[in-house]
Structure 1
Amino acid sequence: MRKILTSRPARGALLLASFTLLAAPGSSQQASGPIARYTIDAGTMSGMAAMGSGGGMGAAMSMMMGGGNKPMHELVLRLGSTRAPTGGAPAAEHFMPAGAALGASVPLVTPRIPPSEDQPIPGERPKGRLLIYWGCGATVGAGQPVIIDFAKVARGQIPPGLYMSGASIPQEWQVRVTNSKTYGDWPNAQTRKTVSASSSLLGDHRIAGNYSPDIAFNLKQDFMPPITGTARKIAGGATILSWNGLPQATGYYAWTFGAQDNGDMVWWASSATQAFGGPVWDWMSPAAVQKMIAQKIVMPPSQTSCTVPAAVTQAGGEMLMGSLYAYGPEANFAYPPRPADPKIAWKPEWIARVRYRANTMWMLNGPDMGAMMSDSGSDEGEDTPARQQQQKKKKKCGGGLGGMLGSAMGVGC
């Protein structure tokens, strides 16, 4: 583990993660409104994105070595209330429809926030640079790349204009520990239940606890289907990304990330303008997506291809990861319902929101999006001829993602 934290690419990745946190929009305390707010974020993951959903390190290494992986589902539940719990410690449950395959209910646990024990990690000052590119096309536009020096950022010298501007970030209500008197969420450490690839959200949902009114609604929208597609290199070094259009998609956003041994990292996004950070890695409402399509940050739902410039694939080296998000619909519920007449005052007891998305991850210099799921129709342990052939080809992982990540993790091949 220490090797991971002290390697130059890994330290740069940690710094890049801190950029993301700084760039995310903040949430503020609600002065008035409903007693309880509830959110469900439902995702469908395919390709390498699916390996983090219950697969653990075994699934990760299988994926790196060319093994297939089935699409998976993810579910994030959050309950926030203006009330303190009655009758003891906070307790709440989400009672699921049978098709969710999660049992009768899952617990919404109030996290315990221990005192910080963070200690500075000894070692050299971060070195290397972050090279930022953007835009679909075989060649990059003027002014690219924007170069960020990690050593300067570590000294607090963050260049102006790095992050997505405030006007570009749609402000949507959130449920957080910081804006709730009492809070609970799932997944959590209290249960090891996980959402399966065959789980369904259709049907009746009920949330009950000792710090909020009962919440009940019926969902008629299920998980989105998975994204599949290809990453095809063309003459000149550019790579064409193409994918299946999802009927429920409201917009798409793609990015790639590469790291080299010298500490340099490469970041590219499909947005037509420089737009680093912001809400694009989160679930987004159709209204927010529409706003970002108008600003040319998110691709419209009619678009099913985008070309990664040759300069990006050349600068990214062997380890060049790609990801594609498809933002989906949103369902909203409230009690009592919002009056049709805007002149009538409305103060609901609770509001609930369900957001959907699908995302996939792949390796630009390796198997394409479709090949990453080539074994989705066979049992995970089945030794098919196709898998045998893949394993022969990938037995030595001196290059590609297996070699790069295996080396960084100290796993070896």
Structure 2
Amino acid sequence: MDEGSVSVTLAKSPLVDFKSDFPGLVTRDGAPWHYLDTAATAQKPRAVIDAMARALGEDYATVHRGVYSRSAEMTRAYENARRTIATFLGGREEEVVFTRGATEAINLVANSWGRANLEPGDRILLSQLEHHSNIVPWQMIAAQTGAEIDVCPLTDDHRIDLAAAEEILTERHKLVAFCHVSNVLGSVLDAPRAAQLAHKVGAKLLLDGCQSAPHMAVDVARLDCDFYVFSAHKLYGPTGIGALWARGDILDAMPPWEGGGSMIDRVTFEKTTYAPPPQRFEAGTPAITEAIAFAAAADYVSAVGIDRMHEHEAALVARLRRKLGAMNDVTLFGPADSAGIVSFALDDIHPHDLGTILDEANVAIRAGHHCAQPLMDYLEVPATARASFGLYSTDEDVDALLEGIARTRRIFGKA
């Protein structure tokens, strides 16, 4: 078993050539599939698929417990995967906890750090554009601890209004939990400024990085956050796994959330002592093969170059926004420099109808509230259509979307 970085065979520059690395980008009859739903979940490159297949096949064994050689090799590969993810984030491996995804990571922070640190009268600051996964866990823990939630409004161009946040924050605030990049609007948070504001009043900052990790370089030290969460499947990796990064001193002081094997030091019926982080937060048999494939995805993205990817996706966003902005029956949401995401509404045609008609032409977009119903209420729409890009997206995908919009207009008699 290779214990180092996963070997990645890459297509040549420019990025448009990377489509060939992704077997999911064709239909069953071999036609091009114009996949514009990467913000929901990214397609997987062959390097990730092969890494997971090897881990499930000839390399497979359990981790941490076996004394036989293959178990030891798999344990090294699993822990090397943790090191890879830590490096990808600019952190240390002992600061990275593998979770089932960003949702579980936020719930872990809420139920461990939140339960231990929040009291009646304490406050949590969220924003108007948060995903449900960064709202509901805090509502649940607030109800249990007596803490209260404040909501930061947005600017006119649909960014989190940090000037308003500064006015809202008081020494009663213990946590600020913001989305780094909006999954609906693509708006990018000035995270260092948010950290400065949170720390000024003694609060911790949690960043939901699901949409930032796949689109821009992440350095948790530069961001100055206290918690950072993201999911593998949005970073071209497998489902069912993600990561929580937390500052070492904070993680060390957090009590365990779930109990079971692997997270213990010593168990008796009288008392149990717990392992140090990150093992303290990984009860039970972990997602072994998923972690190895997660690392393969991070290696793949690093080999391609996250800055190249961002530049490529930004050009596609600019082109699509320019084309849609020239249509008098289209409403665009979010800022012009959105990160890989374009949300829009087409006159009185429901996004679900648009998505269904586009699907007939092998164009896949997301239509709905995108797990952000409070944001939909703020925008005063029931839903939006959302096109989101990845490193494999091309101008041909944009053209197919625009042709599908024209066809939808004709079907609805609005040509």
- With the length of structure 1 as denominator, give the TM-score of the two structures: 0.23
Task: Using CA pairs under 8 Å that are at least 6 residues apart, name the structure with larger relative contact order, 1 or 2.
Answer: 1
Whichever structure has more strand as a proportion of its residues is 1
Whichever structure has more helix as a proportion of its residues is 2
